[in-house]
Amino acid sequence: MAQKSAVAARAPKKKASSWQKRDWVAAYIFIAPVTLGLLVFYIWPFFQNIWFSFNDVNKFNMSTFVGLENYIKLFSDKEVWKAFGNSLKYVVITVPAGLFLSIFIAALMNAKIRGKSIYRTLYFLPSVTMSAAVAMVWKWIYNEQMGILNTAIKAAGGSGHAWLTSPSTALYCIMLVGLWMTVGYNMIILLAGMQGISVTYYEAAALDGAGPIQQFFKITIPMLTPTIFFVLITSIISGFQVFDTIYMMIGKTNPAYDDTQTVVMLFYRQAFDYGYKGYAAAISLFIFIVIMIVTVIQLIGQKKWVNYD
Amino acid sequence: MKKRLTKLASLGFVATMCVGLLAGCGGGSSDGGSSSGKTEIAFGIWDENQRPAMEDLVAAYEEENPDVKVNIELTPYSGGEYWTKLEAAAGGGTAPDVFWINVLHLDSYVDGGILADMTDAIAESDINDAYSETLVQNYVRDDVNYAVPKDFDTNALWYNKEMFDAAGVAYPTDDMTYDDFVALCAELKDKLPEGVYPFVCPVDFQTWYYQTVYANGGWIISEDGTETGYDDPKTQEGIQCWIDLIDEGYAPSAATVAETGSDAMFQGEQVAMTFAGSYMVPEYANNDAVAEKIDCVEIPTYNDIEDNCINGLGYAVYEGSKNKDAAIDFAIWLGSKDAQDIQGESGVVISARTESQHLFAEAKPEYNLAAYTNHADVAYPLPMGGTKTAEIYDLESTWLTKAYTGEMSLADACAGLKEEADALLAE
C-alpha cells in the first residue's frame, strides 16, 4: 500500500496542478486504511496506556486517578526486577547468537550451491508458522516423559532431562525455540543486503588475490553493516517483547515458572489474570522506555561502526 | 477513460476495506432486534463439549418462544481466554446477554456491577424450592441473586482396569479410606511396568488437597475473609498426605506432572489411577484408547469423612444488556425442569436441579458415575477471598509447587504463602 502511494505521488511531474491534486487525494486514500488502522489500534491506545498508568484500572476498565502510585509499586516490586532480569538474559543471549547464526546461514545461501531455493524456503518456514503452533510442537519435543528429544537421548544410552521444568535449563530451551523461529527471517534480510553489494568489489579483490574468507571479512561484512544494524535493532526489540512461546510452554505449576517469567509475561498476568490494568500499563510503559533508551544508545553508537558506502 | 475506471475501481476497493474495518470493530453482540424482527439474545459459553447440549436448549427455547433468537458465542476457557474477552466486552458494553459464570469469578463481577439483579425473577420461579440451598446461595451476595445454578462438579477416583488386571491387584472400591488407598498404591507399585506409577498428585486444590484439608479440620480463608489458614498444622497435614505419595514413589515428580498434566498421564496409561472432576468424563469417554478400560469409584474417605469438593456454574445476565427482560426470562427458563433435563440427558455435566441430578449417571451406564453424586450433599464448597480469590489461588500454587518439588519443606512454603496471602487480603 505504501509503495503504491509513493509511485502515485511521484509519477506525473509535468501535469496540470489539478491533476496533481487529484493524485494526492488518491494517494491519501490509498494510505488511509493503514493510517487509520495505526491510529485506532496503535497510536491512540499508546496514549491511552500512558493515562492508564496513572490510574487504578480494574478488570472492567473503570478507573480512578492515583498519580504515581503504580510507578512506586513498580520500583519496589521484586517480581518486576526478577522478570526484567529474565528478559535481559534472553536478549543478551539470543540477539548475538541469532545474529551470528543468520549471517552465517545467509553467507551459505549466497554461495553457489545446489538446491538453494529449497534451503531458503526451509529456513524461512518457521517465520511464516504461527508461534503458538511452534511452541506447542516444541513443548512436546522437550517433554520429559514422551518427548522425542529424551527418547533420542535414551536410545543413545543417555538418561534424559526435564528440559522445561528444571529452572536451570527452561529459559535456555525457550531461547533455542526463539532462535529457531527468527533466524530464517533475519537470514532473508541479510541475504538481500549481501546481494545488494556490487560484484565489482569482489572482482577487484579477486584480481588482487584475496581469497573467499578475506573477501567475506573485508568486503561482505563492512558493506553489510547497515543491514546488520537494522537486524540488531529489530531483534533487540522483539527480544524484550518475548511472550507467546513462554506463555504457551510454561504453566503456572511449572517449577521453573519464576525463572522464565519475562516482563511482558508479568504485564499480561497483572492485566488479564489479576485485573490490575493500571499497574500493567505502568509495566508496559517501563518496558517501552527501556527499549527506547537501548535503541537511542544504538543509534548513537552506530556512527562508529556502520558503514554507509 | 480507462484510467478513471481503474481509479474508481480502486476507490471502491478501499471503501470496501474501510467498511470492513469498521464493521470488524463494531461487531459486538446485544444489538437488540434484528432485521427479522426477533429479539436476539447472545449466549456466552466456554465448553466445546457442552455445545451440543446448549444448542438443544436453545432450539427448545426458540420453539417455545418463536419471537426470540439465541446466538451461542463460544470462547475457550483455557488460559483465561473466556474471562479476558468477557471482561473487555463488559467494559466496552458488548458482553453477551446471558453467560456462564463460576463461583471463582462471581465476586469481582458483582463488584464491577456487571451482573443483573435476578432476585425477583428467581423468587417468582420454582428455583428456590427445586435446588439445594447451597447451590442457590453460591450466587447470592448481600441477599441479591446474581445467577441461576447451571450445574455442579465433584470429583471421583478413576482407575485403569487393564493395568490392575495385568498387575493382578483388586480394583479400588467405593468404600475405601485414605489408608486403604495408600496400601493399594504400595501393592501396585512393584507390579506395574517400569516407569508407570500407581497414582498422580498434581498441585491441584479443587480435585486433590482441599478435600483432605477440610476433612482434616483445616481451613484456607477465614469466614470474614481477612486471614488465611496455611499455617494451621491441620491444613498442612491435608496437603502433606499427597506430597507423601510423591516422596514414596507412588506418584511421579511434581515437575513431570506440571509438564504433562495428570489427565494426559492417565489417558496415556502412565499412571494407573487419578482423581478427576466430573467435567472430565466426556473427554475420558471420548478417548477411544482408554474409554473401555477405565471406570471410577468414590474419592477415598479421610478421617472417616466423605470428602469431596464441589464447584459449579451459573447462568448470569449482563446488567448492560439491551434486552435484559428477555435475557432474564431465558436464564430463568434454563433453570426449569425441562431445560435441566435436556442438559442432564446429554451426560456431559451434572445438572444442578435436584430432580435432574441422576440423569448424569444414567447417561453413561458403563461407568460408576454415581460416585460423583452419592455424597454431593456434603461436599465442600471452594474457599472465597472476595475479589482477590484468583490471585490467592495463584500464590498458593506458586508456593506449594516449591513444597511438592522438595525445594523447601511444606511448613516453610506455607509460612511464605501465608505472609503474602494475608498481605493481599489486607490490601
* A44 shares its domain with A97: no
Q: What is the pLDDT of residues B289-306, one digit of tens each?
A: 999 999 999 999 999 999
CB contact under 8 A, B21 and A33: yes
Asked whether the beta carbons of residue B79 and residue A247 sit closer than 8 angstroms, the reply is yes
Single-letter amino acid, residue B368: N
Domain end residue (candidates: A29, A52, A75): A52
Residue B177 in any domain: the answer is yes
CA distance B292 to B160: 9
Bridge pairing between strands B294-297 and B155-160: antiparallel
Q: Report which of B143, B72, B82, B152 is spatially closest to residue B110, judged by C-alpha positions.
A: B143
Nearest CA in chain B to A31: B14
Q: Report CB contact under 8 Å: A255, B407.
A: yes
Q: Which residues of B touch A247 (CB under 8 A)?
A: 79
Task: Say which residue the cell 426470540 belongs to.
Answer: B68
C-alpha closest to that of B278 among B157, B421, B116, B145: B157
- The CATH number that applies at residue A205 is 1.10.3720.10
- The pLDDT confidence band at residue B220, using thresholds 50, 70 and 90, is very high
Number of structural domains chain B divides into? 2
Residue B8: what pLDDT? Answer: 53
Per cent of chain B over pLDDT 70 is 92
Q: Is residue B2 part of a domain?
A: no
Chain position carrying cell 533466524:
A183
Same domain, B134 and B205: no
The helix (run of H) or strand (run of E) holding residue A222 is helix A221-240
Q: Measured between beta carbons, which residues in chain A are less than 8 angstroms from residue B397?
A: 252-253
- Whether the Cβ atoms of residue B254 and residue A256 lie closer than 8 Å to each other: no
B1 in a structural domain: no
A291-303 pLDDT, tens digit each? 999 999 999 999 9
Q: What is the pLDDT of residues A77-115, one digit of tens each?
A: 999 999 999 999 999 999 999 999 999 999 988 888 888
State the Cα–Cα distance between residues B397 and A40, nearest whole angstrom.
39
| Partner-chain contact B255 A162, CB within 8 Å | yes
| A257 within some domain | yes
Same-domain check for residues B195 and B282:
yes
Distance of CA B211 to the CA centre of its chain: 16
Residues A89 and A226 in one domain: yes
Nearest C-alpha of chain A: how many angstroms from B336? 31
pLDDT digits 0-9 by tens, B14-72: 454 444 444 444 334 444 444 567 899 999 999 988 899 999 999 999 999 999 999 99
Looking at the fold, whether A71 and A17 belong to one and the same domain comes out as no
In a domain, A197, yes or no: yes
State residue A4's pLDDT score: 47
Has residue A60 been placed in a domain?
no
Are B302 and B339 found together in one domain? no
Q: Do A143 and B11 touch (CB under 8 A)?
A: no
Q: How far B110 CA sits from the closest chain A CA (Å)?
A: 11
Parallel/antiparallel/unpaired status of strands B39-45 and B98-102: parallel
B165 within some domain: yes
Residue B316 lies in a domain: yes
Chain A, nearest residue to B271 by Cα: A145
How far is B347 from chain A, CA to nearest CA, in Å? 30
pLDDT score recorded for residue A16: 58
Interface residue B22 vs chain A (CB under 8 A): no
Of B7, B25, B90, which is closest to A26 when you measure between CB atoms?
B7
B20 interfaces chain A, CB cutoff of 8 Å: no
| A7 and A93 part of one domain | no
The reply to whether residue A255 touches residue B14, judged by beta carbons under 8 angstroms, is no
The reply to whether B23 falls in a domain is: no
In a domain, A293, yes or no: yes
Same domain, B148 and B268: no
Residues 6-35 on A with a CB inside 8 Å of B are: 26, 29-30, 32-33
C-beta of residue B95 within 8 angstroms of C-beta of residue B86: yes
Do B226 and B331 belong to one domain? no
Lowest mean pLDDT among B46-50, B121-125, B272-276: B46-50
DSSP collapsed to 3 states, chain B: CHHHHHHHHHHHHHHHHHHHHHHHHHCCCCCCCCCCCCEEEEEEECCHHHHHHHHHHHHHHHHHCCCEEEEEEECCCHHHHHHHHHHHHHHCCCCCCEEEEEHHHHHHHHHCCCECCCHHHHHHCCHHHHCCHHHHHCCEECCEECCEEEEEECEEEEEEHHHHHHHCCCCCCCCCEHHHHHHHHHHHHCCCCCCCECCCCCCCHHHHHHHHHHHCCCCCECCCCCCECCCCHHHHHHHHHHHHHHHCCCCCCHHHHHHHCHHHHHHCCCECEEEEEHHHHHHHHHCCCCCCCEEEECCCEECCECCCEEEEEEEEEECCCCCHHHHHHHHHHHCCHHHHHHHHHCCCCEECCHHHCHHHHHHCCCCCCHHHHCCHHHCEECCCCHHHHHHHHHHHHHHHHHHHCCCCCHHHHHHHHHHHHHHHHHC
B409 in A contact zone (CB under 8 Å): no
- Same structural domain, B136 and B190: no
Chain A positions in Cβ-Cβ contact with residue B83 (cut-off 8 Å):
272
C-alpha distance from A11 to closest chain B C-alpha (Å) = 14
Same domain, B49 and B92: yes
Using a CB-CB distance cutoff of 8 angstroms, which residues of chain A are in contact with residue B87? 59-60, 272, 275
Q: B322-348, pLDDT tens digit by residue?
A: 999 999 999 999 999 999 999 999 888
B10 lies within 8 A of chain A by CB = yes
Identify whether residues A161 and A18 lie together within a single domain: no
Closest chain B CA to residue A62: B91
B219 and B73 together in one domain: no
A48 & A112 share domain: no
Cα A172 from Cα A244, distance rounded (Å) = 15
* Domain assignment of residue A98, yes or no: yes
pLDDT at A1: 40
Last residue of a domain, which of A11, A27, A52?
A52
Q: How many CB pairs below 8 Å do chains A and B form together?
A: 98
Task: Look at residue B6 and tell me if it is in a domain.
Answer: no
Residues A203 and A262 in one domain: yes
CA distance A255 to chain B (A): 6
Same domain for B231 and B341, yes or no, is no
In a domain, A33, yes or no: yes
The answer to whether the Cβ–Cβ distance between A257 and B398 falls below 8 Å is yes
Q: Give yes or no for residue A281 having a pLDDT over 60.
A: yes
pLDDT of residue B3: 53
For residue B257, the chain A residues in CB contact (below 8 A) are: 253
Residues A161, A26 share a domain: no
Of B80, B114, B259, the CB nearest to A144: B259
Which pLDDT belongs to residue A146? 83
Give the residue on B whose Cα is nearest the Cα of A59.
B87
Whether residue A70 sits in one domain with residue A42: no
- Residue A252 with chain B: CB contacts under 8 Å: 394, 397-398
Is the domain of B109 the same as that of B191? no
Report yes or no on B15 lying in a domain.
no
Q: What is the mean pLDDT of residues A191-205?
A: 92
Which residues of chain A does B84 touch, with a Cβ-Cβ cutoff of 8 Å?
A: 272
Which residues in chain B have Cβ-Cβ distances shorter than 8 Å to A162?
A: 253, 255-256, 259
| Chain A positions in Cβ-Cβ contact with residue B405 (cut-off 8 Å) | 255
CB contact under 8 A, A273 and B258: no
Q: Chain-wide mean pLDDT for chain B?
A: 89
Is there a single domain that holds both residue B92 and residue B168?
A: no
Residues of B in contact with A59 (CB under 8 A): 87, 91, 108, 112
A132 touches chain B (CB under 8 A): no
Average pLDDT over residues A271-286: 91
In this complex, is the C-beta atom of B255 within 8 Å of any C-beta atom belonging to chain A?
Answer: yes
> Does residue A58 lie within any of the structural domains?
no
| Nearest CA-CA distance, residue B360 and chain A, Å | 31
What is residue B268's predicted lDDT score, i.e. its pLDDT?
Answer: 92
Q: What is the mean pLDDT of residues B258-266?
A: 90
CB contact under 8 A, B258 and A251: yes
Chosen for mutation from B21, B209, B259 (greatest number of chain A CBs closer than 10 Å) is: B259
- Indicate whether A57 belongs to any domain: no
With bands split at pLDDT 50, 70 and 90, how would you rate the model's confidence at B133?
A: confident
Interchain CB contact of B18 with A (< 8 Å): yes
CATH number at residue B413: 3.40.190.10
Does the interface predicted TM-score (ipTM) exceed 0.90?
no
- Same domain assignment for residues A143 and A12: no
Q: Is it the case that residue B376 has pLDDT exceeding 90?
A: no
Domain extent for B212? 155-307+386-426
Name the residue range of residue A92's domain.
66-305
Tell whether A259 and A293 lie within a shared domain.
yes
B234/B300 same-domain check: yes
A38 touching B, CB under 8 A? no
Q: Are residues A255 and B254, on separate chains, in Cβ contact within 8 Å?
A: yes
Is the Cβ pair A274, B391 closer than 8 Å? yes
Q: Tell me whether A258 touches chain B (CB under 8 Å).
A: yes
The per-residue b/e assignment along B362-393, b for 16 or more CB within 10 angstroms, e otherwise, is ebbeebbbbbbbbbbeebbbbbbbebbbbbbb
Question: Residue B89: closest CA among chain A residues belongs to which residue?
Answer: A60
pLDDT at A32: 93
Residues A209 and A292 in one domain: yes
- What is the tally of structural domains in chain A? 2
Contact B185, B245 (CB under 8 A): yes
